[in-house]
Amino acid sequence: MNNWFLWFFIALWLVGPLVYSAGTLRNLFLGWRIPTTWVSALPGQGWVEVIGKVKGDPIQSQIKKSECAYWQLEIKEYKSGGRGGGRWQTVHKTSSGPFTVDDMTGRIKILEGGADVVLGDDPAVENLDQPTKTILENLGVKTKGILGFDKRLRLYERTLAPEEEILVLGRIQRIEGQISISGGAIVPQVISNLNKAQTLKALFWRGVRPMILPYAIGIVFIAFYFYSLLR
């Protein structure tokens, strides 16, 4: 094997998983570094973290039709990478829109587009019934492949209840004098119903778990390569 190919493989092996998990790892760093701030004491700009209760009129989630103050629907499809490998890729992500958080010192609007929602209970649904498939088709999500077989999909419907206490990590935004919290251009904000320690732990595993298998495979490959040179 040429040395350039080996070094190319090593570079791809090191950088690829980091790029895939970069947004989550950056949120982990920001959550660890940024202290919680009262709404009444928020700065004029930058990343901030607030903890308060969700405020908003009750609405219904899209799939389960459960009563909530906010919902997020995320659909992931398993994309085969060849040689038995593959990964789950988000093909659809939508939500109910902005809501408000109150921490008793003030209220602030949360502009949650594309947020990384971290919940204590976040089950995935894979065996989709026909009514659910119909809803997804109406949303533009194809549930069948070219040959008519069902695609391998995972559905996550995340909800927040009225008056539920949450943590929000995001960037201060000012539009026409109104202050809100939103995500960055690349790194999404974090919305969590866990405490800070639990949120950081969940972000750690979200960032690290996708890296374990690629790094394990890379270590085995490099070990086998150098072993073959020593024989």
Q: What is the DSSP string of the chain?
A: --HHHHHHHHHHHHHHHHHHTHHHHHHHHHHHHSPB--GGG--SSSEEEEEEEEE---EE-SSS--EESEEEEEEEEEEEEETTEEEEEEEEEEE---EEEE-SS-EEEE--TT-EEE-S----B-S--HHHHHHHHHTT---B-TTSPBP-EEEEEEEE-TT-EEEEEEEEEEETTEEEEE--SSSPPEEESS-HHHHHHHHHHHHHHHHHHHHHHHHHHHHHHHHHHH-
Q: What pLDDT is attached to residue 16? A: 65
pLDDT higher than threshold 60 for residue 97: yes
pTM to 2 decimal places: 0.80
Q: pLDDT grade, residue 158 (50/70/90)? A: very high
pLDDT higher than threshold 70 for residue 225: no
Predicted confidence (pLDDT) per residue in 7-52, tens digit = 666 666 666 666 666 777 888 888 899 999 999 999 988 899 999 9
55-64, 99-108, 112-121, 222-231, range with the lowest pLDDT: 222-231
Contact present, 13 and 214 (Cβ < 8 Å): yes
Q: What pLDDT is attached to residue 5? A: 61
Q: What pLDDT is attached to residue 74? A: 93
pLDDT higher than threshold 60 for residue 1: no
